[in-house]
Structure 1
């Protein structure tokens, strides 16, 4: 029987039908490739202050008071100085290394969550009796699995954010090599595509190999305070671009992630409902010993949001695949929703492998929540991290109850009517939604004009199997964009 994801009436239906059995893994990227290869000229700030750092608490990670790239790991009041990777800065509110224009340098005292300026209708707390699979799923604390964990396969969702191009494609092909792998053990990934600097021929190759193509945005700008029309334009324009220039079938584009992992309050999710998307993966959690499970947004989000712009209203039937924070017991590397935002300075590939394995076992040995392994191209720029990830993937493939799946494939498993009759080793990969074949062997290379937000005319380059457009693909014209004071540079 062909599996069907059941969607509430009036919503976009996703149905897997017979097609090519060739399936490969997809990854998700979020880093602008334009920064690759640039040198980082920041020093470590050693001349900022001669005053020795004193730990404010016995244990934890704390910002350097003088240098934003530097922070300290304190163990029984003994500080160890750490530098964020090149081009990243320490965000003392989120306790992670992030992009310079996003980082809140410290030290920062904890603050209470900002209240909405106007009263809104909040979603009710979870009602398990009313919220039943396959249409709805929730639990009191968000960490209760749908069935006995002993019968649940352990799923790994590899997710990469950003543009796909010559700077990173070879990394993904190397990691996702599925030669001589049985169908159930083939690596699959989900790619959240960003338009700028994207090679749409390479995206089509990933798509035809069985990976899932999802959306980030056209512009890559911070949309956190944008209104619903702006969100619709970003997602709708990018979906049209992928359909036209990467030959992705419309029914295969089902998931999204907010750029820079900054959810857009209720406005983003209203846009997702209106545009017919099935799932989102923009919400991240604070560090939790028991990972949360994916849930529908019928009810109030059951955990604390790492970024304080999560939706508060009810959006029935829309699935959320939350990013549980990655960390290990001794706090080595810090805590991060994207693993490349944790710090692995001077660690060997074996140390990176052991770190990933310990982090993974929190899911595997607990409630079997899917292990969402999200990262950017940055991860592959350090050899020990790339090799450590390869070792982790190779180890996971040897386990008979661990499976690499895409976001949509996981939801197909979760919403299957025979969910309670399965076993942890009985998972079978569904057939592809659409038969996928490359539309060309040699793509067209396009040199295109593009007008920047400041009005400056520039050139952009892209490759596609389709005819080259006259101008670089971008947002559709809209009457008005309301960002509540947020500019393109943020």
Structure 2
């Protein structure tokens, strides 16, 4: 197996050095003379092709002996773990509520026929108390953002003013807040499908943990469609986590609008998350789509992207910025947004992490393969301290739950690290949407109560989730492999077809 892995690495390195072929999904990535950028390119190509998933594995310097199951005792523990996960998936109810449905209308709002449709957000809508369904909720589309001719001048703090504009490259707190008064925002986010395999990780990390204001810590989940259990998405949403779009097919695509908006519609149709609550996006593999991607985001009211890897390792770290002033320095991996300015569209950049000794830089946190729990803890602490002790720019912990599958000790380390973070009165673990509210209105630590989204005394929009027993398990043919695939949802009926690109409601035969 190790020889096969080495062969794959050599093939990836060869593809990277030649720039890729037309059939290579990574072929649109720019050749970068900096060795670190070249490694980021190779990392993207590798993940698109199914692994390796960490830079350490690509460099062939990772010691796999820590992960070996070659002793009978380790193998027995492994079998017990698998059996436990299977039983949890079969019999676990979670902390879920009664099954709900939806109600409908016009106003340009997407409707479905197999579900009760959505109430329009206008004065002509009937009183929900008079409708037949007691579970109707109003679905509101966010307003589109302006797209204008590209601004070629440098961003000026006098012209780019909060709450709607922030200059690229800012490393000092907004509105001249003293660093000591700035809440240290920590954004722990996860990409890809949400299902029974990864949900126990999230329960372990988030359950019963609270910020200094006594509200639950929250995350942003960038959700792709295949293999996602929408009952669990609905449960996470009602635990006040943010649900964001990560495309339907999770491939490199040119159909950006269908992929981005379609996934928002699927999330609304099957997890009952209102459209105006799905306003964040991250492209698969951190592979941006140039202006096509950002046009699709802006005109559909997405106010935030989190795809672009920062070009330079900045110390102190960058604060988020808007794409009003688009420059070639905005991102590393091409194609980058270049032709237009996207007013009010915020970029939460992929701020680079570094190894404890400073010799290696990473895009997402999970590009490192810590050999031990101790090494993982040191890695987390080192990168957090760079933010906390410098300028308190929002600290991004961007990762995939598959990191825990491959390196279980990383989950143990993260579990312990979160406890360490929450001992700081200055630290708030919030979603990107909540972090954006703070960027719009930067307030000092003693005034975070002014931010409505940071509070937890209001009801979550949309109907609560059903139980596992009440959920529909809809079986279809996977459009990619042709194998059976299950869509689990609290909807009252299954769609006709598996929802997919161009058919997010699953209505078309």
Q: TM-score, normalised by structure 1?
A: 0.70
Listed one character per residue, the Cα deviations across residues 43-67 of structure 1 (whole Å, up to 9, x for unaligned) are: 564xx8xxxxxxxxxxxxxx99798
The RMSD of aligned alpha carbons is 3.1
Aligned: 1:133 with 2:157: no
Instruction: Please give the residue correspondences for 1:234-253 in structure 2 after superposition, counting only pairs within 5 Å.
Output: 234-253=259-278
Look up the match of 1:94: 40
Tell me the distance in 1 between the aligned counterparts of 2:9 and 2:400: 25
Look up the match of 2:337: 311
Label 1:423 to 1:167 Cα distance change in 2 as closer, same or farther (>3 A): same
Tell me the distance in 2 between the aligned counterparts of 1:222 and 1:64: 21
Instruction: Decide whether the 8 Å contact of 1:397 with 1:403 is kept in 2.
Output: yes
Look up the match of 1:321: 348
Local SS of the residue matching 1:445: strand
Tell me the distance in 2 between the aligned counterparts of 1:138 and 1:92: 27
Tell me the distance in 2 between the aligned counterparts of 1:128 and 1:180: 36
Look up the match of 1:296: 322
Instruction: Decide whether the 8 Å contact of 1:165 with 1:199 is kept in 2.
Output: yes
Tell me the distance in 2 between the aligned counterparts of 1:365 and 1:425: 19
Look up the match of 1:339: 365
Look up the match of 1:360: 384
Local SS of the residue matching 2:409: helix
What's the offset of the Cα at 1:307? 1.4
What's the offset of the Cα at 1:352? 1.0
Instruction: Decide whether the 8 Å contact of 2:170 with 2:318 is kept in 1.
Output: yes
Look up the match of 1:280: 305
What's the offset of the Cα at 1:458? 3.6
Aligned: 1:215 with 2:239: no
What's the offset of the Cα at 1:150? 2.4
Instruction: Decide whether the 8 Å contact of 1:142 with 1:303 is kept in 2.
Output: no
Instruction: Please give the residue correspondences for 1:436-447 in structure 2 after superposition, counting only pairs within 5 Å.
Output: 437-441=463-467, 442-447=470-475
What's the offset of the Cα at 1:95? 7.3
What's the offset of the Cα at 1:394? 0.6
Instruction: Decide whether the 8 Å contact of 2:150 with 2:325 is kept in 1.
Output: no
Local SS of the residue matching 1:187: coil
Look up the match of 1:153: 183
What's the offset of the Cα at 1:439? 3.7
Instruction: Decide whether the 8 Å contact of 1:94 with 1:306 is kept in 2.
Output: no
Unaligned stretches of 5+ residues in structure 2: 15-35, 60-148, 505-509
Richer in helix (by share)? 2
Instruction: Decide whether the 8 Å contact of 1:145 with 1:368 is kept in 2.
Output: yes
Listed one character per residue, the Cα deviations across residues 217-262 of structure 1 (whole Å, up to 9, x for unaligned) are: 0001113xx2xxx211111111111111001011211111111111
Aligned: 1:254 with 2:279: yes
What's the offset of the Cα at 1:356? 0.6
Label 1:122 to 1:138 Cα distance change in 2 as closer, same or farther (>3 A): closer
Aligned: 1:408 with 2:436: no
What's the offset of the Cα at 1:475? 1.3
Look up the match of 1:9: none
Look up the match of 1:390: 415
What's the offset of the Cα at 1:154? 0.3
Label 1:449 to 1:393 Cα distance change in 2 as closer, same or farther (>3 A): same
What's the offset of the Cα at 1:433? 7.6
Label 1:268 to 1:64 Cα distance change in 2 as closer, same or farther (>3 A): closer
